[in-house]
C-alpha cells in the first residue's frame, strides 16, 4: 500500500471553507502520494466536492494551504460538461487546445486518450448521442489530455452500471500504476475495497477518519446481521420466525426480513455463537438454509458508524 510521505503529490493542510455562516470544510488535512488511490468518503453535504473544487482551482479555501502539482485532471460529477452537438473528438480537441496544444497536436492527443478509454469507435459521434457511461469515459479522457500527475475524480461511478463502473476503476488503477495520484470521492462505498490504498472520511466538513480500508472496516466492527433464506420442506407451512427463534435458542435473534411472510429472515448471532453454529442449529432443527449473506457490508457498517459518531 502506498503511504503518505513528504513527497506527496497532493498535500492539504488545515483547509477550511465557509459559505456565509456555514462552515463547509473545517480544518481538513490529507496527503496523497504519487501512485496512490485515496478515497474520500462521506455522506451528502460532507464537503467532498467542495474540497475537490478547491483542489481543481474552481474555489478558494477560506484558510489553510494546498500543495499540489499543477497538472491536475478533474473528472466532475455532473452529467453535462460537454458540448453535446459536436463530436467527442471535437470536444477533446477543443479542450486540448485550451491546454495550449496546437490543432494537429491536440487532435493527436485527443485520439490517443479516446483510444485509452475505449471510445475510438464513437469519436466522431455527437456527444449528445453518447450513453451515460460513455460520457463518463469521455470525461476521463478529457482529464487525461494534459497527462496529469494528479487526478481528481468526483463520484465517477455513482450512476453507472457495474460493468461501466468497473471499467472506470480499471482505468484509474492503470493511471495510478503509472504514477498518478488519485483522489476519488464516492458514495459507492463498497467499491473502495481492493481499490483504494487509503481513505479519508469526511462528515459535516471535518475529517472523522483517516487510514487504510482495513482500519476503516475495523471501525464498523459491530455484531453483523445476516439475511438467511430458510425452507422447512413443507410448502403448505412456511417457516415461522418464532419457531426458528426457538430452534436457535439464546444463540441469536431471528426476525422476518421484510413485511411479507416468506423464506427470508434476519439472523443476528449472539455471544459466542458463530454464524456456522447458528446455521447448524437451524439445520439440526430440520430447516434447510438455502442462502446466507451479510445484511450490510463492513464498510457500510463503518460508514454508518462514523456518520452516527459525527452526528452526536
Q: Which residues are at the interface with another protein (CB under 8 A)?
A: 56-58, 72, 74, 76, 78-86, 90, 93-95, 97-100, 102-103, 106, 126, 142, 146
CB atoms < 10 A from the CB of 108, how many? 13
Residue 86 Cβ vs another protein, minimum distance, rounded to whole Å: 5
Nearer to another protein, 146 or 192 (CB): 146
Nearer to another protein, 81 or 297 (CB): 81
Report, in angstroms and rounded to the nearest whole number, the Rg of the chain calculated over CA atoms: 24
Nearer to another protein, 135 or 157 (CB): 135
CA 36, CA 202: separation in Å to the nearest integer?
A: 19
Q: How many residues are given for the chain?
A: 312
CA 21, CA 217: separation in Å to the nearest integer?
A: 34
Q: ∠ CA 189-119-155 to the nearest 5 degrees? A: 20
DSSP 3-state percent helix, strand, coil across the chain (nearest 5): 35, 25, 35
Cell 483504494 found at: 196
Question: Hey, what's the cell of 189?
Answer: 462505498
Residue 78 Cβ vs another protein, minimum distance, rounded to whole Å: 5
Nearer to another protein, 60 or 215 (CB): 60
Nearer to another protein, 89 or 278 (CB): 89
Closest CA to 267 of 282, 287, 285: 282
Residue 151 Cβ vs another protein, minimum distance, rounded to whole Å: 12
Among left, alpha and beta (phi > 0; psi -120 to 50; other), residue 277 is alpha
Residue 35 Cβ vs another protein, minimum distance, rounded to whole Å: 22
Residue 156 Cβ vs another protein, minimum distance, rounded to whole Å: 15
Amino acid at each position: 500500500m502506498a503511504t503518505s510521505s513528504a513527497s506527496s503529490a497532493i498535500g492539504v493542510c488545515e483547509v477550511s471553507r465557509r459559505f456565509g455562516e456555514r462552515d463547509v470544510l473545517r480544518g481538513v488535512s490529507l496527503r496523497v502520494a504519487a501512485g496512490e488511490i485515496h478515497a474520500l468518503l462521506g455522506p451528502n453535504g460532507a464537503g467532498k466536492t467542495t474540497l475537490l473544487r478547491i483542489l481543481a482551482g474552481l474555489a478558494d479555501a477560506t484558510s489553510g494551504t494546498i500543495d499540489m502539482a499543477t497538472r491536475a485532471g478533474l473528472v466532475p460529477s455532473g452529467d453535462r460538461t460537454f458540448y453535446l452537438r459536436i463530436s467527442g473528438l471535437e470536444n477533446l480537441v477543443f479542450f486540448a487546445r485550451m491546454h495550449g496544444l496546437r490543432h494537429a497536436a491536440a487532435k493527436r492527443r485527443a485520439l490517443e486518450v479516446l483510444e485509452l478509454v475505449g471510445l475510438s469507435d464513437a469519436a466522431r459521434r455527437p456527444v449528445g448521442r453518447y450513453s451515460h457511461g460513455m460520457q463518463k469515459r469521455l470525461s476521463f479522457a478529457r482529464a487525461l489530455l494534459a497527462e496529469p500527475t494528479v487526478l481528481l475524480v468526483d463520484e465517477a461511478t455513482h450512476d453507472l452500471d457495474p460493468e461501466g463502473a468497473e471499467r472506470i476503476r480499471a482505468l484509474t488503477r492503470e493511471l495510478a500504476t503509472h504514477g498518478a495520484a488519485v483522489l476519488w470521492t464516492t458514495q459507492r462505498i463498497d467499491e473502495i475495497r481492493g481499490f483504494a490504498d487509503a481513505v479519508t472520511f469526511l462528515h459535516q466538513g471535518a475529517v472523522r477518519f483517516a487510514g487504510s480500508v482495513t482500519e476503516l472496516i475495523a471501525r464498523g466492527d459491530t455484531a453483523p446481521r445476516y439475511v438467511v433464506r430458510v425452507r422447512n420442506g413443507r410448502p403448505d407451512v412456511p417457516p415461522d420466525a418464532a419457531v426458528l427463534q426457538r430452534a436457535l435458542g439464546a444463540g441469536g435473534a431471528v426476525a422476518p426480513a421484510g413485511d411479507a411472510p416468506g423464506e427470508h429472515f434476519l439472523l443476528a448471532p449472539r455471544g459466542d455463537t458463530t454464524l456456522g453454529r447458528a446455521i447448524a442449529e437451524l439445520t439440526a432443527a430440520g430447516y434447510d438454509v438455502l442462502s446466507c449473506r451479510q445484511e450490510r457490508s463492513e464498510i457500510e457498517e463503518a460508514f454508518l458508524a462514523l456518520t452516527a459518531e459525527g452526528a452526536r
